[in-house]
Structure 1
């Protein structure tokens, strides 16, 4: 399960750490700013153990103001991604009282490019492979359907929730 949770955060990081050419077609400004991954919404009736575990860990870390991922979209079509998901340490408390998940102190940072138009976010990696996802932004909440990210061991994938900071 630990490996699958890390895969979730790594896959998310890869989505937001690819590069593309800058393009003047980006007219949607509601994506501009810094967005923090704060939740994973899943269907409790059909969710896999991995999805439930990922939701629990992300909820716990968000409750202690620990940011696993922050994505900053700039007007010049650059995007800065800060990801701590690769540095998660998931342990069991010595008394068997639950999980011990300290907030990671290390993070990976990347500066890349993006295109956002009409609710569609597109990244092009260094091999010119495009990753496109539908994004729903309402006020200070951005929702990305994790199913579009094709996570291994995730039935429904759920919805990644980012909050604008």
Structure 2
């Protein structure tokens, strides 16, 4: 189980390193993105297996107050990314026999990038110094990005949901 969590978040250091270039008629003003966005859940629409298990674990952690991943988009077109380092996660068997006890990681990592929003296309400089573009959706205080942004290998086809603080 720790390996699944590790796989989900080991790519978080390059959290903005995937690209998805679907065109859409959505048009968002850059001001609609400014603010602090906190990871809420994965929308996996009927997913099973590892994606469902991973989402269940993330849900427990988020509901317990663990800020797994946060984006702070600023008006000067910089973004600060803060994420938990799951390589140092402790886990053990719950003594009451209800399963594994997964703890919120103590270590937090931070990175900074620049961004630009044109319509629903969010472009940024990834951890490798390359320009990446993804399709996003903003609905009030809910931001949806491709799950691949969090983990390209394990969350393909899902959507990561963030809420504005």
TM-score range, shorter chain: 0.7 to 0.9
Quick one: structure 1 residues 152 and 16, their matched pair in 2 at CA, closer, same or farther if it must change by over 3 Å? Answer: closer
Secondary structure of the 1:115 match is strand
What corresponds to 2:25 in structure 1? none
1:135–1:144 CA contact under 8 A, matched in 2: yes
Larger mean CA deviation between 106-115 and 125-134 belongs to 125-134
Secondary structure of the 2:110 match is strand
What corresponds to 1:42 in structure 2? 44
What corresponds to 1:146 in structure 2? 147
What corresponds to 2:68 in structure 1? 68
What corresponds to 1:134 in structure 2? 135
1:15–1:123 CA contact under 8 A, matched in 2: no
Which digits, 9 at most, give the CA deviation of each residue in 1:42-85, with x for residues without a partner?
A: 122xx242211210111101111111111100000111111004
* TM-score with structure 2 setting the length: 0.80
CA distance in 2, matches of 1:120, 1:70: 19
Secondary structure of the 2:32 match is coil
Ranges in structure 1 where 5+ consecutive residues have no aligned partner: 19-25
CA distance in 2, matches of 1:149, 1:110: 14
CA distance in 1, matches of 2:73, 2:137: 15
What corresponds to 1:23 in structure 2? none
Report the RMSD for the aligned CA atoms in angstroms: 2.6
What corresponds to 1:94 in structure 2? 95
2:15–2:151 CA contact under 8 A, matched in 1: no
* TM-score with structure 1 setting the length: 0.80
Which digits, 9 at most, give the CA deviation of each residue in 1:88-123, with x for residues without a partner?
A: 334331343122112222100112211222111112
What corresponds to 1:106 in structure 2? 107
What corresponds to 1:121 in structure 2? 122
Secondary structure of the 2:56 match is helix
Quick one: structure 1 residues 163 and 27, their matched pair in 2 at CA, closer, same or farther if it must change by over 3 Å? Answer: closer
1:34–1:73 CA contact under 8 A, matched in 2: yes
